[in-house]
Structure 1
Amino acid sequence: MTAIPTETEGAVAAEPSVDFVVVDVETACSRVSSICQIGIVGFRDGREVFAYETLVDPCDEFSPFNTRIHGISCDHVVGKPTFGHVHEIVDGHLTGRVTVAHSTFDKGALAAACRFHDRRTIETTWLDSVRVAKRAWPDLPSHRLNVLTRFLGVRHKHHDALSDARAAGMVIVRAIDHTGIDLAGWLRPADSKGGPAPKPAADGPLKGERAFVLGQARDGPLAVRLAELGARVVASVGTTTTILVVSDDQPYGRFVQASAPYRKAEDLRGAGSALRILGESEIRDMQGT
C-alpha cells in the first residue's frame, strides 16, 4: 500500500505521474477560508498512486456545528501548520493537473484560503464529481458522496478529508467504466449548445422538422447537415421537437439512452408524440454522403 505522507513529511519524493488528483477540505466554521483538514489523492489508470493528508490550523474559530460534522476541534490542530505553510505542498500536487472535487465547495475554500494567507492562486483544471455522477447515474435520488459510495460499494468515512477525496476519485473511476466516457470526455461540457443554429434551407426532405442534436453543438457539422436538408435545429428536446439525432461522437457511449435528452425524447414518445430518434448515419444517407 502506498504510504501516506504526513504534514511533517512534505511532498512525496519522485511522485508518480497521475491522470487526475482529488482534493477535499474540511473547514472550522462558516468562513470557507477556515480550512482545518486537507486530503489529496492521485489516481492513474483507475488506481490510487499517492495520498496526502494533513490537519491545518485554520487561524480561526471552531464552530460547534462544524466540529459535530467532522469531529475536528481546536485541540486537534494545536501545533499543526497553517494553510500558508502547506500551500506549497498543495500547490505542487494540484497545479497543472486535472483536479477533482465533489461540488465546487473545495475549489472556493482553497481560493479563499489563498487570499486569506496571501498565497498565489492554485492553477488547475477543475472537474466536479457531482456533475459527473448526475450524468452517469441520473436516476439516483441523491448524488451526495455518502449516497454514491453506498450505491457503488466503496468504503468511506464521510467528512474525513482523505476518505472523501478517495471516494470522489472512485466516483470518477466508476463513471468512466460505467459510461465509457474518458477523462477528456468528462471535462467537455455535455451537449454544448455552441453558437447560433444554422439557417434551414428553404426546401428539402426535412423541411418543417424541428431537430435536436445529441452529442454536438447546435452549430456543429451535424446541425449544418440537418439545416441543409431543411430542418430547424433546436436548443433542447421539447413538445415541438420532431427529431432527435444522435451524433456518432456523442459522449455517452453505450449508455446514450441514460442521457437526459434521450430520456426526454422517450418520455414524449411514450406520451404519444411522433418524435423520431435517428442516427447520424441516417442523416448522411439522406444527403447521399
Structure 2
Amino acid sequence: MTGRPVTEQAGGIDAPDFVVVDVETSCSQVSSICQIGIVGFKDGRETFAYETLLDPCDRFSSFNTRIHGITADHVIGAPTFADAHAIIAGHLSGRITVAHSLFDKGALAAACLLHRRDPIEATWLDGVRVAKRAWPDLPSHRLNVLTRFLDLPHKHHDALSDARAAGMVIVRAMEHTGMNLAGWLAPSNPPRAKAPPPALDGPLKGERIFILGEARNGPLARRLAGEGARIMAGVGVSTTRLVISDKQPFGRFVTTHAQYRQAVALQGEGVPIAIYNEVDMKCGPSTHAAVVT
C-alpha cells in the first residue's frame, strides 16, 4: 500500500498480452473501492504496474479494515474512483483483463454506476477458473493458497501484490499446460465433482453435510457417505452439519470462509446446523462451533 499512484514501469511501451486487476473495498458495498492495483504482462513478464488508494466515498467497516489494513485516515486526499476512472479504463478497456474471481469485475461495474462513469469494456478472464483447470487436484484455488503452492512472492490483500501474483498464476498455468490465452478464453464445461451416493443405512443416515476444505468426492466425503450422509454442494437451510476437513488450506482464516460464515449465520437464525472438525465427528461439536465472526 503506497498511498500514491504507482504508474508504468520500464518495458510498458508495448501493449500487454493481458492485464490483471485487483481491488480492495472499504465495506460490504461492492462499489466501495479503496485501493486498486493493475499489472500488465507480455511474454510472461510484467510490463507495467499501477496502484493507488481511492477515497471510496463510503464508510470503512472494521471487518474490511482487519483484512487489508486500510482505514479512512489512509485515504485522506486520495482520488475518488471518478477521479481515477480515466486512468483505470485506459489500462483495462479493450484488453484481456484477468481478475482472480470476478468480484473485481463486479466492483468496478458497481463503482462506474455509482460515480456515473462509462462501464469498462474488457475481455474478462477468471483466474480462479484458470487455476482450477490447470491444477484440478488442489484442495483450494484461493490466491494465497496458489502462491504458496507455486512459491510466488505475495502480500495477501494488498491490491498491487494480489494483481501481480494473480498474473503470475496465469503465466504459470500457461507454462504448465501449454495452453495460450485464446485457449483459456474458450468456453469449457469441465465435469463437476460428483458426491458419492449415501449408504442406505448407517450412523449418519439423514445427515446433510457440507465439507469445508476438501472436494465433494474426496476421502472424507466417501467415508461420511459410507456412513449414510448426503454430501452437499454448499451450506443451506437443509444442511445439518458443516465439517472442517483436516486438509483445509485456510489455516486460522477458516472462520472467514463464506460457507463457514453462512453456517454461523444460520445458527444465529435458529437453524439446527452443527459445525465439526473432521476429528470430532464421533466425539461431538468442534470448538469452532462457538466462534462467531
Query: Which TM-score applies when normalising by structure 2?
Result: 0.62
Post-superposition CA distance 1:135-174 (Å, at most 9, x none):
0000000000000000000000000000000010011000
Stretches of structure 1 that go unaligned for 5 or more consecutive residues are: 193-234, 239-289
Q: Determine which of 114, 117, 142 is the counterpart of 1:116.
A: 114
Which of 138, 147, 152 matches 1:149?
Answer: 147
- Quick check: 1:5–1:52 contact (8 Å CA) kept in 2? no
Deviation string for 1:186-223 (max 9, x for gaps)?
0001259xxxxxxxxxxxxxxxxxxxxxxxxxxxxxxx
Of 40, 54, 57, 1:56 maps to 54
What SS is found at the alignment partner of 1:181? Answer: coil
Determine the C-alpha separation between the residues in 2 that align with 1:150 and 1:113: 32
Shift of 1:12: 7.6
Q: Following the alignment from structure 1 to structure 2, what is the Cα–Cα distance between the partners of residues 33 and 67?
A: 16
Residues 8 and 49 in structure 2, CA contact (< 8 A), matched pair in contact too: no
Unaligned 5+ runs, structure 2: 195-293
Q: CA separation of 1:134/1:119 partners in 2, compared to 1, >3 Å: closer, same or farther?
A: same
Q: For the residues of structure 2 that align with 1:146 and 1:159, how far apart are their CA atoms?
A: 9
State the shift of 1:17 in Å: 1.2
Q: Corresponding residue for 1:137?
A: 135
Helix, strand or coil at the partner of 2:24 = strand
- Which moved further from structure 2: 151-160 or 183-192? 183-192
Quick one: structure 1 residues 184 and 62, their matched pair in 2 at CA, closer, same or farther if it must change by over 3 Å? same
TM-score between the two structures when normalised by the length of structure 1? 0.63
Contact 2:3 2:75 in 1 (8 A): no
The alignment of Structure 1 onto Structure 2 pairs a total of residues equal to 192
- CA distance in 1 between counterparts of 2:192 and 2:63 reads 42
2:163 aligned with 1:165: yes
- Provide, for residues 6-32 of structure 1, a one-character-per-residue CA deviation record: whole Å limited to 9, x for no partner: 53x777897431000000000000000
Matches within 5 A, 1:55-204: 55-191=53-189
Identity over aligned residues, as a percent? 71
The AA in structure 1 aligned to 2:112 is: C
| Residues 6, 17 of structure 1: alpha-carbon distance in 2 compared, 3 angstrom cutoff | farther
Secondary structure at the counterpart of residue 92 of structure 1: helix
Q: Please, which of 1, 17, 20 is the counterpart of residue 19 of structure 1?
A: 17
Deviation at 1:5, TM superposition (A): 11
Give runs of ≥4 in structure 1 deviating > 6 Å.
9-14, 235-238
Counterpart of 1:120, as a letter, is D
> Are the counterparts in 2 of residues 5 and 12 from structure 1 also a CA contact under 8 Å?
no
Query: Paired residue for 2:40, among 33, 39, 42?
Result: 42
Instruction: Write the letter of the residue equivalent to 1:64.
Output: S
- Report SS of the residue matched to 2:36: strand
RMSD, aligned CA = 2.4
Please show how residues 240-259 of structure 1 align to structure 2 within 5 Å: none
- What is the identity, as a one-letter code, of the residue corresponding to 2:70? I
Q: Distance in 2 between matches of 1:110 and 1:237?
A: 32
The one-letter amino acid paired with 1:47 is: R
2-structure distance, mates of 1:182, 1:16: 19
Bigger radius of gyration, 1 or 2? 1
Letter in 2 for 1:70: H
